[in-house]
Structure 1
């Protein structure tokens, strides 16, 4: 069949259009497939950081994106060797533009607020409204206040000079606030045991609605008691209410919320969406111990039913177990008698000056013992000693657990396990013991101690690492 030039041009044009349509269709499918992978399942390009600022006592991180910069305000644990329960002496403002390098800006001190000069700097939340920045803070678990600044890293001033949420505003403690904004409405969520929500006035100085209790229930409709520090985010039509390593979901901000179970392992949370659209959570960890914490950065992923996907390798840093690796350490171990502890060259070391030299870890390790089976030591014994000893102090959780046990432990009353070592070593050697060698290890390993060189009164010792695993 003969085809004229016009028909030939027509078929060429049609072929070109079909080719372009095919490319466009393929491109759209590829984009949808990529978007689907980012929406559901693991994003392999997401960033994960165990401790964003090491050995700083950074607790209760609260995040706010400003352009391409992430700002956080976090509480600061007062001491890695505390003598009271959760002493927190200030809040600090930090920022990052890449989620890896962090810049400190300023501190907010309780003495400059109605709290006074006491270490009561519990959790809070930061938000922006009408060009100003509002820091809602807890006065321990007594009440909640609010401070304001013209810049997110600026000087914060007490907005009221008294609590926004006084102690008697609800039947339970009105602390650990979370601020959630949607369509210009700012909601404050607070409390423990039962959460309450209320609407904030535009000037952020008062509530325009009475606090309303929020029901969290199991799948059978039974009410569930919740822990402190609620956090909220919305994804699609679902609201997510997260508290520590648990969460619930609802299609209404005020609930009722249905309990879903385990969230990512860790403590208090704060959520933000990074510049690439990935949702992240900043989550409290036990960097040095439960009373001298750090913040972990984790991506948040979802299953196709909109529940949170928990990766198999998820953990609360530094678990499982408790590694003492001194490559960057400046704290965490101290001497009790017969020696000193010096941090140098990525290890701890000391000179023996009397028998029964003893060093101990930070208290309140809060290490889950059933995930551990042995302890490994990498040491250099430059003494005549042929023995070292190791002790483990553990406790079961129960009523008053967090309010007792902060005093110095009497190690004479603890069980010590003897470990044969080689004397006068010029190199590091590794020794291992089983936790089963101890007669009674309770649910939480709280503190450990070492007699690095038993029966000698001179010489030097060095520890490269001690790992409970």
Structure 2
């Protein structure tokens, strides 16, 4: 059963737990927000992430928490570490692409879980990793397979992007659990991690963590296979947190920029918190710089019909 966890304006949007690496979808008029979960022991400055969390809202302000839908150890082949992830819906099922530590093979791997409802519970869809170090031909790399992001294009072709220090992408078959072609590379300035793929008005947008500590930059293309044109930094370093993980959500006439900072008491790079602010586009399709606020976003009315991402609320 879902439990109300926040019913007031302001960032961070979740305040009773440390949350990170956000992703969100809209299903039947409800937003589902998926996050990582920072829980290092007191006095420890390191990542301790064992499960992912799911929250839902009908207005972007009142959030309800659902029972834990997925843990890293739900993948029998994984040894732990619930890193960045993204959920996408296809053919009535919900697919959750996650980065975890591989149990049998050194380094991180990307797995995929599936559920019949957006709040889960989710289960391992294939019983093995979808992407490993061997998949990309770099067996000794430790963290290359991080931060999966998925887009189903207008022609119904699905694509998976991911990476750390190098951005990769590959086509997915319609079943969403098999690769459909060779793995390709995307060359982006100062690419660190945290890729997010988005499409609007025939433009493809690829957001990512830029440098370290991480700012958020983006590139644009008319084709998903490039060429990509670097457009610059849109989000500065988020508070007292060295990482950032951007997501974009269109909902009821607004476009939202979802990210994390270290804004809660005792927060920081290993105790992060998800925040939401507005995202706006210029007439030429480029993205305006993000204004990070403590006020956050306003509750959105059910009848909102404003063109997405074009005017201030």
Q: Return the offset for 1:113.
A: 1.5
Please give the alpha-carbon distance, in whole angstroms, between the structure 1 residues aligned to 2:28 and 2:235: 27
TM-score by length of 2: 0.78
In the alignment, structure 1 segments of 5+ residues that lack a partner are 1-46, 217-223, 319-469
Query: Residues 121 and 316 (structure 1 numbering): CA distance in 2 closer, same or farther, change over 3 Å?
Result: farther
Aligned to 1:109: 71
Aligned match for 1:62, one of 9, 20, 23: 23
Please give the alpha-carbon distance, in whole angstroms, between the structure 2 residues aligned to 1:80 and 1:285: 19
TM-score by length of 1: 0.53
Q: Return the offset for 1:317.
A: 6.6
1:241 and 2:206 aligned: yes
Q: Is the 8 A contact 1:285 1:317 kept in 2?
A: no
Aligned to 1:281: 257
Aligned to 2:224: 253
1:193 and 2:173 aligned: no
Aligned to 1:143: 109
Aligned to 1:162: 128
Please give the alpha-carbon distance, in whole angstroms, between the structure 1 residues aligned to 2:164 and 2:287: 23
Query: Residues 309 and 146 (structure 1 numbering): CA distance in 2 closer, same or farther, change over 3 Å?
Result: same
In the alignment, structure 2 segments of 5+ residues that lack a partner are 1-7, 102-106, 210-215, 239-243, 296-313
The alignment of Structure 1 onto Structure 2 pairs a total of residues equal to 261
Is the deviation greater in 145-154 or in 106-115? 106-115
Secondary structure, aligned partner of 2:260: strand
Query: Residues 55 and 80 (structure 1 numbering): CA distance in 2 closer, same or farther, change over 3 Å?
Result: farther
> Equivalences for 1:342-357 in 2 at 5 Å?
none
Secondary structure, aligned partner of 2:73: helix
Aligned match for 2:152, one of 181, 195, 201: 181
Please give the alpha-carbon distance, in whole angstroms, between the structure 1 residues aligned to 2:201 and 2:217: 20
Aligned to 1:298: 277
Q: Return the offset for 1:299.
A: 0.9
Q: Is the 8 A contact 2:9 2:61 kept in 1?
A: no
Largest Rg, 1 or 2:
1
Q: CA RMSD in A?
A: 2.2
1:356-377 deviation per Cα after TM superposition (whole angstroms, max 9, x unaligned): xxxxxxxxxxxxxxxxxxxxxx
Aligned to 2:5: none
Q: Return the offset for 1:67.
A: 2.0
1:125 and 2:86 aligned: yes
Q: Is the 8 A contact 2:158 2:172 kept in 1?
A: yes
Aligned to 1:324: none
Secondary structure, aligned partner of 1:165: coil
Q: Return the offset for 1:80.
A: 6.5
Q: Is the 8 A contact 1:194 1:225 kept in 2?
A: no
Q: Is the 8 A contact 1:143 1:166 kept in 2?
A: yes
Aligned to 2:195: 230
Please give the alpha-carbon distance, in whole angstroms, between the structure 2 residues aligned to 1:240 and 1:111: 33
Q: Is the 8 A contact 2:40 2:47 kept in 1?
A: no
1:79-123 deviation per Cα after TM superposition (whole angstroms, max 9, x unaligned): 2635353111110111011101111112111222135563x0000
Structure with more helix by fraction:
1
Secondary structure, aligned partner of 2:248: strand
Aligned to 1:94: 55
Using CA pairs under 8 Å that are at least 6 residues apart, name the structure with larger relative contact order, 1 or 2: 2
1:129-164 deviation per Cα after TM superposition (whole angstroms, max 9, x unaligned): 111111111014611000111111121111122100
